[in-house]
């Protein structure tokens, strides 16, 4: 049958299993928007800014495991996507962005709303395309989805001139496998690498698993946990790895790195074997590379060959899908005990518990840690939590233990303020359930707050918890530690967030006392038709502990003082 390019786009989306798109119309993409009226089975969510569309598609993808889809016009519409695309790229989130482009005949002439978006996004996409021929459009879109979801997932952009959208051709959906020269995501490990890894595992006395985002993306949580229990190997999690393994498990040490637990970081520095499963040795995890895990042999399993030896030289590098590689490894693994090692870790954990602010009487003051810990209690630890970036993000990582994959969605690699609320909207619409919480700071929230309009219009069942401390909190923390308390450009004079929400028709409350935290959360959970908002006004000068200064040795953490000290 003969179809226009716009019809081909939408037909291909249906065949790729797409049910929802996030976008904003404009002249160069208008033929596709007009054609959407023929496809009511494809839900379109009108955002208030294209950055919000990219974050919503990202949140949708992370929550559902499917590819998120973004639609935008040329020029500023396309360039407004860049921050969201870069966020997805660094966190390996599969999204496909379809952008309109000016007509082919005027490309390169600085036409109205023309931008070389494939050039702009080349560094922050897994791949991108400019489609000049309508006959190539269907295969290009199918290829884009294949690249986005396979291997190490990531964002792909397809730029389509306006005349290609209106051109007509015979439509035949390209069936069969996608074959791309040079694109062969690895799956299995070489047998000699399995043997080398087994030799290190059997000889280790102080082993430690570093579980990253790859545990979740490969669906390898069961295999990693089986390995940990059989070999009595404790595990620490990266920020994006949270949820890949149950954090309340006796072998869990919580998050590692700059704001990780003291016992996780001390375990890394004292281990004699690190098993890096689907993680990339990011600088926020390692601290000073010269002193990182100085006595440990290292096994690194990752599907992306570019991550091997990139930051840390390892002894046994294995390129492959983590679930597949562990399937090769596990039949040869024998039960092992590490009683002395686990005893040492318990001592470190007891010290950390003594320092923890949640266990202290702080009088009438409300701390963010209390809010997030009580949210964990009130939700039974079963919510899908989407955070923004800053202090509240680290407190969430410390005080909301996750038990299941895809229940913490956050911007890790790029650290994108403004990610939280739109990504939560995408997750809530994708999951179709009411148990999605956006935990945001007062700073990041205001970067994308117009998406309250999207939440209202779409009746997205998202609960928004603002951790309101009147500062750009993490920047203020660095100013306190390293810039002699010169709080320049970090105090925030905020609007009344409750009134702001009510202006959008969104039910809202303000909480200033700890005794009101759980009742407010229960109130929000009781509302399932549309969004809610709670403004938690918390202690202004609180700090995230521990903290490893940038570039410092991982074990040289700034710790919260013990209770014997009068400081909080």
Per the residue annotation, which of 66, 113, 232, 556 is the catalytic one? 113
For 3, the token pair is 């179809």
* HEC per residue, 119-153: HHHHHHCCEEEECCCHHHHHHHHHHHHHHHHCCCC
> 414: which 2 tokens?
């790029």
* DSSP string of 397-443, one letter each residue: HHHS---STTSEE---SS--TT-HHHHHHHHHHHH-SS-EEEEEEHH
Tell how strand 68-72 and strand 95-101 pair up: parallel
Residue 232 backbone class (left: φ over 0; alpha: ψ -120 to 50; beta: rest): left
Separation CA 426–CA 432 (nearest Å): 10
Query: Do 32 and 21 meet the contact criterion of CB atoms below 8 Å apart?
Result: no
Name the CA dihedral angle for 31, 37, 42, 46, rounded to a multiple of 10 degrees: 70
Backbone φ, ψ for residue 464 (5° rounding)? -110, 120
Strands 2-4 and 168-170, how do they pair?
Answer: antiparallel
Name the token pair of 468.
């309101």
Is there a contact between 437 and 379 (Cβ–Cβ < 8 Å)?
Answer: yes
Pairing of strands 316-319, 297-302: parallel
- Residue tagged active-site, from 217, 255, 258, 474: 474
Helices marked H in 291-382 — which ranges?
Answer: 322-329, 339-355, 368-378
- Displacement of CA 384 from its chain's centroid (Å): 12
Nearest-angstrom CA–CA distance, 432 and 410: 19
Tokens 């002193």 appear where? Answer: 291
Active-site position among 112, 230, 354, 481: 112
Instruction: Find how far residue 290's CA is from the centre of its chain.
Output: 28
Between CA 12 and CA 66 the distance in angstroms is: 15
Catalytic-role residue among 16, 114, 126, 162: 162
Place of tokens 């929550």: 63
**Separation of first and last alpha carbons in the chain:** 71
- Whether 143 is catalytic is no
Active-site position among 7, 11, 50, 307: 50
User: How far is 552 from 42, CA to CA, in rounded Å?
Assistant: 50
Query: Catalytic: 113?
Result: yes
Question: 318 CB contacts (<8 Å, ≥6 apart)?
Answer: 189, 190, 193, 194, 197, 299, 300, 301, 302, 325
- 242 included as an active-site residue: no
The set of residues, in sequence order, having a beta carbon less than 8 Å from that of 444 and lying 6+ positions away, is 388, 389, 390, 417, 418, 419, 420
Distance, in Å, from the CA atom of 155 to the CA atom of 122, rounded to the nearest integer, reads 11
Q: Catalytic residue positions? A: 50, 112-113, 162, 474
């Amino acid at each position: 049958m003969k179809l226009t390019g716009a019809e081909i786009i939408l037909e291909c989306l249906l065949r790729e299993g797409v049910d929802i798109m996030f976008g904003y119309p404009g002249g160069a993409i208008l033929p596709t928007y007009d054609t959407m009226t023929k496809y009511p089975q494809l839900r379109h969510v009108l955002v208030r800014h294209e950055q919000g569309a990219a974050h919503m598609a990202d949140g949708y993808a992370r929550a559902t495991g499917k590819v998120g889809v973004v639609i935008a016009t040329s020029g500023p519409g396309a360039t407004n996507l860049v921050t969201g695309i870069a966020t997805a790229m660094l966190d390996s989130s599969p999204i496909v962005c379809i952008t309109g482009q000016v007509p082919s005949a005027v490309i390169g002439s600085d036409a109205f709303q023309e931008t070389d978006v494939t050039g702009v996004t080349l560094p922050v996409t897994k791949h991108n395309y400019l489609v000049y021929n309508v006959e190539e459009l269907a295969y290009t879109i199918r290829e884009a989805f294949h690249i986005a979801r396979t291997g190490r997932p990531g964002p792909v952009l397809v730029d389509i001139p306006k005349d290609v959208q209106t051109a007509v051709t015979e439509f035949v959906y390209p069936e069969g496998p996608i074959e791309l020269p040079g694109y062969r995501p690895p799956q299995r490990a070489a047998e000699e690498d399995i043997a080398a890894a087994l030799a290190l595992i059997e000889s280790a006395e102080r082993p430690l698993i570093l579980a990253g985002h790859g545990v979740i993306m490969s669906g390898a949580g069961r295999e990693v946990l089986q390995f940990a229990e059989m070999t009595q190997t404790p595990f620490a999690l990266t920020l994006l790895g949270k949820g890949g393994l149950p954090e309340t498990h006796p072998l869990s040490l919580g998050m590692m790195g700059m704001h990780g637990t003291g016992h996780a970081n001390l375990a890394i520095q004292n281990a004699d074997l690190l098993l890096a499963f689907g993680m990339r040795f990011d600088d926020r995890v390692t601290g000073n590379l010269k002193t990182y895990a100085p006595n440990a042999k290292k096994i690194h399993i990752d599907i992306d060959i570019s991550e091997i030896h990139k930051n840390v030289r390892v002894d046994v590098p294995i390129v492959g899908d983590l679930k597949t590689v562990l399937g090769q490894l596990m039949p040869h693994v024998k039960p092992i005990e590490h009683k002395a090692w686990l005893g040492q870790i318990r001592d470190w954990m007891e010290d950390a518990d003594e320092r923890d602010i949640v266990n202290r009487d702080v009088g009438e003051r409300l701390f963010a840690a209390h809010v997030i810990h009580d949210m964990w209690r009130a939700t039974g630890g079963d919510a899908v939590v989407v955070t923004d970036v800053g202090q509240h993000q680290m407190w969430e990582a410390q005080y909301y233990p996750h038990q299941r994959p895809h229940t913490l969605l956050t911007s890790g690699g790029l650290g994108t303020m403004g990610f939280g609320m739109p990504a939560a909207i995408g997750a809530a619409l994708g999951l179709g359930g009411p148990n999605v919480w956006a935990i945001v700071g007062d700073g990041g929230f205001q970067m994308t707050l117009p998406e309250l309009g999207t939440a209202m219009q779409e009746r997205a069942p998202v609960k928004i918890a603002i951790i309101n401390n009147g500062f750009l909190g993490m920047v203020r923390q660095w100013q306190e530690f390293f810039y002699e308390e010169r709080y320049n450009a970090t105090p925030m004079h905020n609007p009344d967030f409750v009134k702001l929400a009510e202006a959008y028709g969104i039910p809202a409350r303000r909480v200033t006392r700890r005794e009101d935290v759980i009742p407010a959360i229960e109130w929000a959970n009781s509302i399932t038709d549309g969004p809610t908002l709670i403004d938690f006004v918390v202690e202004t000068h609180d700090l995230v502990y521990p903290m490893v200064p940038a570039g410092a040795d991982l074990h040289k953490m700034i710790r919260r003082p013990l209770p014997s000290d009068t400081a909080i």
